[in-house]
Structure 1
């Protein structure tokens, strides 16, 4: 069938699928090679044409995301077939791969596509048809998610057979076979099914060879997800949660899936020594609902039981000694400061008296803590502030973060989250990078003697309040968070000490603020 789109010259067909043909074309106005996808389905209703274009415009707002295939143009041909003009991806799709991929590569792909999905969901855009064929290899080797908008052509409320035909059965979430409206959780399911396929060479719950009928696929949704040889159990736990039959038991959003993928430690993931290798702790079975403010603790560990609710624990001996030492040093500094300012004021008065008109010299106001740290901070009831020479304080308002990927000691991917939502890490101290640290990489900071005192288990434990006191020392872990890209852009030389309960993913509320 001849295709003609004004402003584009068709070069050749580069791919064919169940619902369309992809052409290599040239955009005449700027002489650029593009991919032009023409769908075989027709949109006869004006309302549906407007809805399709509205969806594509919404997806177009994702342009610029490194892991989304850019949409340049869209429209409907005179014969009522919709088309998309997209970035040309010469590397083909992940469906072209024949051999299973290594866990490390699949986790990295999953994190990138989950990041793209999180950005789309934040804009209210669902994909609806994630599968290996819709993840393309872009010109410079990165992966990108394609076909936003086309999957919305067939939607709940139309003829059942047509709607089911619009699904890709191997990757569609179970509820979609019952015509439930698409949700972020159905996108999460499809992405996890795609990752499973890249690891196993077949979709989840599928036989090693052969196709399944739709009724058989629906029946198999009740089967457990099989382990994949040589894929670590932590990775399988992530996939099983994403592939849960009940949407309520899946990741609530793509950002949560991305956070767990970023925390994976799997075979072959050793890589550079700077790469974060904190193991993921997601389990396939859902946890009980945590109470407001903080999650309930799990079974008690081998140590003595936690104190009663609301009763603070005594700070560790080393921390108490550090606090007394810090208090003594602070007293000395206060006396020295009083002496200094008394002498300065005397000298200033003498200079003013000896100058014409008695006018003094105007000085600039001292920078505030917000100017130094980038956020409002406090020293009262802040154990980190007692560390000698630490230049550390506590954030005034609780500050929480997602998981992160750290490459060569620098943060590659991290997201600041409201503490009322599920998060991985919470800040218990913020401090100025020591003056003798030229390059504040994570491993360099973590080995510095002053940073070791600020970001320590003693400081973390002394910083807890409320329900967090119920968790014994064996449950906690901490990390040093080097300056973020936002800190660097604002010329802030600060690092953060962050902590979490090691065996709980997605805590809510605050463990360290307010006090």
Structure 2
């Protein structure tokens, strides 16, 4: 039974729908007389760490605002009884249902894949793509809904709860082995969704009953059948996206989008295989049926290999290293000729300085500032460890910027995000006080900031660096250039 909803600033009109975990209300936002949808999840989130994780992911998803194929999030929070909620754009035309014409499915797939490219680049995984989560906006445009609630599905929690939160017919096989999700998991779910929109039912699954977990595991080793009237080239693209072995899928959503766009551009003739990057995927896979959950350190090590391939996102932000010299020195900033000891550069992996660096005043923290601005994309955080983040040019659009860098306290045996966030020394370095004192140039005008503690990146771990960074981003604004240090 779902509790009644009372949310300040909103007048609840009626219930649009109910599901296994949530109820969606139609409501009016009273201040601007706008109809919205309020989705209240039935899973109670009382733990402060989980609430922070939920709100962190919702904030990241909120940066997708304006993408034509994402349902916009207007607000989010946690009710007094611990239930999380999202206030979203109202899509009165409902969700997609199959069977649909081939051309419409291919076009929709390319549009939703484009939304995933943007989301993954911000460090946001969806984790529950299915026909019911692709809605038609007011003017008929398809859009992906429910970003943010994915944070409630945590592979580190009780496995029965996690599996219950999945939509089994569209979840990738690794989810049933309790492996942490990756961008390739979203690729699988989108391909399975497109197959269902073509056929009217999901691939492999029986239409008359809910299979057991052992049956689901067996289904994922079965061939994906052809569809009458669907060009084999289309089925080949979807088969690759649904490969049981993640390594055999499209490496990222951009690659799936590219294949779908090629099908549209070529008009889906009888034979276009030579022009596609997709090749048919073998249907017999072995070594993928274990249900033993690896330890966190082993799991993250395995994820690092998969995520490395996922980071090749075509036509998105340009990857640059710390030696990028784009931009011009800004008056008042530290000189780029400040002496830098080889030991410090080895420790931190970038040139650092204590000159004009508020973080350096924290006693015993061994904190410094980067000598030049260091900007970042969004991040994917799984079980407290960052599995994907990219350093990008500060002159282009970016999510975060470093305002402090420090050695992980020697007292900490682990350096996961949640462990660092709880340490008193890290709190002193990555504090609002330090962030506000570190603002640079035009960023001084912004008063409301969000900060994050970035544990050692995959590159840091590879190089044996045990450091963390303090990252900041202005809430509701985008800084043009750099916020804390000169770019050069």
Task: Determine whether 1:283 maps to 2:279.
Answer: yes
Task: Give the SS at the match of 1:78.
Answer: coil
Task: Determine whether 1:18 maps to 2:20.
Answer: yes
Structure 2, unmatched stretches of 5+, are 283-311, 321-488
User: Where does residue 226 of structure 1 map in the other structure?
Assistant: 225
Instruction: Supply the distance in 1 between the matched residues of 2:239 and 2:47 (Cα, whole angstroms).
Output: 40
Answer with 1 or 2: which has the greater Rg.
Answer: 1
Task: Give the SS at the match of 2:179.
Answer: coil
Displacement of 1:415 in angstroms is 3.5
Instruction: Supply the distance in 2 between the matched residues of 1:232 and 1:266 (Cα, whole angstroms).
Output: 15
Displacement of 1:278 in angstroms is 9.0
1:22-43 Cα offsets, whole Å, 9 max, x none, are 0100111111100000111100
User: Where does residue 173 of structure 1 map in the other structure?
Assistant: 172
User: Where does residue 78 of structure 1 map in the other structure?
Assistant: 80
Task: Determine whether 1:42 maps to 2:41.
Answer: no
Q: Is the 8 A contact 1:234 1:279 kept in 2?
A: no
- Distance 1:11-1:218 versus aligned 2 partners, 3 A rule: same
User: Where does residue 411 of structure 2 map in the other structure?
Assistant: none
Q: Is the 8 A contact 2:114 2:257 kept in 1?
A: yes
Task: Determine whether 1:217 maps to 2:219.
Answer: no
Displacement of 1:110 in angstroms is 0.2
Residue pairs, 1:500-511, within 5 angstroms: none
1:3-32 Cα offsets, whole Å, 9 max, x none, are 101111000001111110001001111111
Instruction: Supply the distance in 2 between the matched residues of 1:59 and 1:88 (Cα, whole angstroms).
Output: 17
- Distance 1:177-1:416 versus aligned 2 partners, 3 A rule: closer
User: Where does residue 373 of structure 1 map in the other structure?
Assistant: none
Instruction: Supply the distance in 1 between the matched residues of 2:143 and 2:89 (Cα, whole angstroms).
Output: 10
Displacement of 1:214 in angstroms is 2.4
1:28-67 Cα offsets, whole Å, 9 max, x none, are 1111100000111100101101110111000000000000
Displacement of 1:154 in angstroms is 2.4
User: Where does residue 144 of structure 1 map in the other structure?
Assistant: 143
User: Where does residue 33 of structure 2 map in the other structure?
Assistant: 31
Instruction: Supply the distance in 2 between the matched residues of 1:208 and 1:158 (Cα, whole angstroms).
Output: 30
User: Where does residue 58 of structure 1 map in the other structure?
Assistant: 60
Moved over 4 A (4+): 265-270, 276-279, 416-420
Instruction: Supply the distance in 2 between the matched residues of 1:419 and 1:277 (Cα, whole angstroms).
Output: 31
Displacement of 1:160 in angstroms is 1.2
Instruction: Supply the distance in 1 between the matched residues of 2:240 and 2:182 (Cα, whole angstroms).
Output: 16
Instruction: Supply the distance in 1 between the matched residues of 2:143 and 2:223 (Cα, whole angstroms).
Output: 30
User: Where does residue 366 of structure 2 map in the other structure?
Assistant: none
Structure 1, unmatched stretches of 5+, are 271-275, 287-401, 404-413, 421-515
Task: Determine whether 1:106 maps to 2:112.
Answer: no
User: Where does residue 159 of structure 1 map in the other structure?
Assistant: 158
- Distance 1:4-1:264 versus aligned 2 partners, 3 A rule: same
Displacement of 1:206 in angstroms is 1.8
Residue pairs, 1:7-406, within 5 angstroms: 7-94=9-96, 97=97, 99-264=98-263, 279-285=275-281
- Distance 1:417-1:237 versus aligned 2 partners, 3 A rule: farther
Task: Give the SS at the match of 2:80.
Answer: coil
Instruction: Supply the distance in 1 between the matched residues of 2:317 and 2:281 (Cα, whole angstroms).
Output: 24
Q: TM-score normalised to the size of structure 2? A: 0.56
Instruction: Supply the distance in 2 between the matched residues of 1:226 and 1:44 (Cα, whole angstroms).
Output: 44
Q: Is the 8 A contact 1:103 1:266 kept in 2?
A: no
Aligned residues: 287
User: Where does residue 406 of structure 2 map in the other structure?
Assistant: none
Q: Is the 8 A contact 1:156 1:179 kept in 2?
A: yes
Displacement of 1:277 in angstroms is 12
- Distance 1:90-1:130 versus aligned 2 partners, 3 A rule: same
Q: Is the 8 A contact 1:264 1:278 kept in 2?
A: no
Q: Is the 8 A contact 2:125 2:150 kept in 1?
A: no
Q: TM-score normalised to the size of structure 1? A: 0.53
User: Where does residue 410 of structure 1 map in the other structure?
Assistant: none
Displacement of 1:217 in angstroms is 1.1
Displacement of 1:269 in angstroms is 5.5
Q: Is the 8 A contact 1:104 1:267 kept in 2?
A: no
User: Where does residue 415 of structure 1 map in the other structure?
Assistant: 315
The RMSD of aligned alpha carbons is 2.6
Instruction: Supply the distance in 2 between the matched residues of 1:265 and 1:68 (Cα, whole angstroms).
Output: 21
